Amino acid sequence: MVETATSGLTRLSVLDQSPIPEGLTGADALKNTIDLARLTDALGYTRYWIAEHHGIPMLASAAPEILIAEVAAATKHIRVGSGGVMLPHYSPLKVAETFSIIGGLHGKRIDLGIGRAPGSDRETMFALQRDRRQMSPDDFPEQLAELLAYFEKDFPPEHPWARLSALPGGDDAPDVWLLGSSPQSAIWAGELGLPYSIADFISPEGAGNAQLYRARFQPSVRRARPELSVCVSAICAETDEEAERLASSQRMAITLLRRGQLIAVPTVERALEFFEEAGRVDGAAGRRVVVGSPETVRAGLEAVAAEYGASEVLVVTIVHDHAARRHSYELIAKAFGLTPAS
């Protein structure tokens, strides 16, 4: 892909939440993930990240580590990873061992994106805990430091866990990224010298966090200089009108989600009917979604990349019809001139 003069955008990637269409099952959604991964691998996208969400009927991506292993086995060129693993749910050692094994099986094309958010509501977060006598402590910085120490064999020799750095997958450790949408995550990523991915599709006002990340960046063994990506919600179709029509499904699902009503991704017909009813308003307002024809979406993605100063955009697409989702990624790849994998 040729670097654009307007944004510096040089890489396109995928974030997949494994959306569950109305009328289908979670198993169907998981198979769609494998299918989309194969397609985007062939189209020339840079990486394929799997999100982590729990207790949401619209999304099947509750165990990204399993899907990552499946996607890596089904693809040849694309980097595969988590976007992300929600570390507060887990033991850092368990995460290190799991991704060490995936790396041992698939080499150095595995990414480990780490997040702090629960990926669920408070009740589901509590259900995920092993010890339910009280809520887990908010000790994310300590968890992250421990995780990095396993991969980098950075425990002091006398530390009782130093021997645990001999991970089962050998030396093929994943590339660790920090994910976030807050100033605090930007500070942690910068001070630790980690690459940083910002979730614009959750909070579209993160340009200041990108600046903060660069200002606080300290060169490290992980990165010599800042590396920033931004994840953007986008839906592409042959025309602006068709793309807006497809986007109605996501907008209805997000509108109801904000009201506490959890549903699978509705059909376009049901979504259009929903918004046509008197008094219905788009509760997804405030979330940025780049919607339109290939020319419109290219311009929109370049504008977001320029806003953040990002060289990479991860595209997340939620529509009801899987064929339309596939076609959206095909159109975006063509609009940016991605080079298909040989």
Sequence-distant (6+) residues with CB within 8 A of 153 are 162, 165
Question: For residues 35 and 326, is the Cβ–Cβ distance under 8 A?
Answer: yes
**pLDDT per residue as tens digits for the range 168-216:** 998 889 999 999 999 999 999 999 999 999 999 999 988 999 999 999 9
Interatomic CA distance for residues 21 and 258, integer angstroms: 19
Question: Crossing angle, helix 294-308 and helix 207-216, to 10 degrees?
Answer: 40
**pLDDT per residue as tens digits for the range 71-123:** 999 999 999 999 999 999 899 999 999 999 999 999 999 999 999 986 567 77
| Of residues 266, 246, 221, 232, the one with CA closest to residue 19 | 266
The CATH number given to 11-336 is: 3.20.20.30
Kindly provide the b/e burial profile for residues 226-254, where b requires at least 16 CB atoms within 10 angstroms of the residue's own CB: bbbbbbbbbbbbeeeebbebbbbbbbbbb
Domain segments of the chain as ranges: 11-336
How does pLDDT run along the chain (342 residues), one tens digit per residue?
433 333 488 999 999 999 999 999 999 999 999 999 999 999 999 999 999 999 999 999 999 999 999 999 999 999 999 999 999 989 999 999 999 999 999 999 999 999 998 656 777 777 777 777 777 778 899 999 999 999 999 999 999 999 999 999 988 899 999 999 999 999 999 999 999 999 999 999 889 999 999 999 999 999 999 999 999 999 999 999 999 999 999 999 999 998 889 999 999 999 999 999 866 777 777 789 999 999 999 999 999 999 999 999 999 999 999 999 999 999 999 999 999 987
